[in-house]
Homo-oligomer: A and B are copies of this chain.
Amino acid sequence: VSQILTREYLESLDAQDQLAPFRDAFQLPGSGQYFNGNSLGPRPKSTREAMKQVMEAHWGCHGGASWYGQDWMQRPARVGGKIAHLIGAAADEIIIADSTSINLAKMVMTALDIQAGRHVIVTEEGNFPTDLYILKDIAARVSGVEIRIVATEDLADALDDGCALLALTHVNYKTSRQHDMAALTKKAHEVGALALWDLSHSAGAVHVDLNASQADFAVGCTYKFLNGGPGAPAYLFVAKRHQNGAPALPGWMGHAAPFDFSPNFIPAEGMTRHLTGTPPILALAALECGVDLMVEAGVGAVVEKSARLGDVTIELVEQKLSDTDIEVLSPRHTAQRGAQICLKTVQASALVGRLENRGLIVDFRPPNIIRLGLAALYVRYQDIWDVVDALGEEYKALRRVEQA
Q: Which residue of B lies closest to A63 (CB)?
A: B29
Query: Cβ of A125 < 8 Å from any Cβ of B?
Result: yes
The answer to whether A99 touches B255 (Cβ under 8 A) is no
CA distance A317 to B31 in the complex (A): 63
Beyond A48-B56, A55-B48, whether A366 also contacts B259 by CB under 8 A is yes
Q: Which residue of B lies closest to A60 (CB)?
A: B27
Beyond A98-B98, A282-B231, whether A43 also contacts B55 by CB under 8 A is yes
Majority secondary structure, A binding face = mixed
Query: Cβ of A179 < 8 Å from any Cβ of B?
Result: no
CA distance A62 to B27 in the complex (A): 10
Q: Which residue of B lies closest to A100 (CB)?
A: B277
Interface string of A225-268 (1 = CB under 8 A from B): 00001111110000000000000111111010011111101000
> How many copies of the chain does the oligomer comprise?
2
Q: Which residues of B lie under 8 Å from residue A279 when comparing CB positions?
A: 230-231
Within the complex, the shortest CB–CB distance from A62 to chain B, in Å, comes to 5
The answer to whether B229 touches A282 (Cβ under 8 A) is yes
Q: Which residues of B lie under 8 Å from residue A355 when comparing CB positions?
A: none
The answer to whether B263 touches A125 (Cβ under 8 A) is yes
B-contacting 9-mer, from A131-139, A151-159, A202-210: A131-139
CA distance A265 to B127 in the complex (A): 13
Within the complex, the shortest CB–CB distance from A276 to chain B, in Å, comes to 5
Q: Which residues of B lie under 8 Å from residue A365 when comparing CB positions?
A: 261
CA distance A127 to B252 in the complex (A): 12
Task: Choose among B64, B66, B142 the residue that contacts A363 (Cβ–Cβ < 8 A).
Answer: B64
CA distance A62 to B251 in the complex (A): 36
The answer to whether A223 touches B278 (Cβ under 8 A) is yes
Query: Cβ of A184 < 8 Å from any Cβ of B?
Result: no
Q: Which residue of A109, A233, A251, A365 has the most chain B CB atoms within 10 A of its CB atom?
A: A251
The answer to whether B99 touches A229 (Cβ under 8 A) is no
CA distance A55 to B54 in the complex (A): 15
The answer to whether B261 touches A366 (Cβ under 8 A) is yes
The answer to whether A130 touches B277 (Cβ under 8 A) is yes
Query: Cβ of A47 < 8 Å from any Cβ of B?
Result: yes
CA distance A232 to B250 in the complex (A): 18
B-contacting 9-mer, from A32-40, A336-344, A386-394: A32-40
The answer to whether B39 touches A59 (Cβ under 8 A) is no
Within the complex, the shortest CB–CB distance from A378 to chain B, in Å, comes to 11
Listed by A's residue number, 10 A-B pairs whose Cβ atoms lie within 8 Å are: A29-B62, A40-B66, A48-B56, A51-B55, A101-B249, A102-B249, A132-B265, A141-B141, A229-B281, A231-B284
**Apart from A221-B278, A223-B278, A282-B282: 19 A-B pairs, beta carbons within 8 A:** A30-B62, A36-B63, A37-B63, A40-B64, A43-B59, A59-B230, A64-B361, A67-B230, A101-B277, A128-B252, A129-B262, A129-B265, A133-B252, A137-B248, A141-B141, A231-B278, A259-B366, A260-B366, A280-B280
Binding site for B on A (CB under 8 A): 27, 29-30, 34, 36-37, 39-40, 42-43, 47-48, 51-52, 55-56, 59-67, 72, 98-102, 105, 109, 125-130, 132-134, 136-137, 141-143, 149, 173-174, 221, 223, 229-234, 248-253, 255, 258-263, 265, 276-284, 286, 356, 361, 363, 365-366
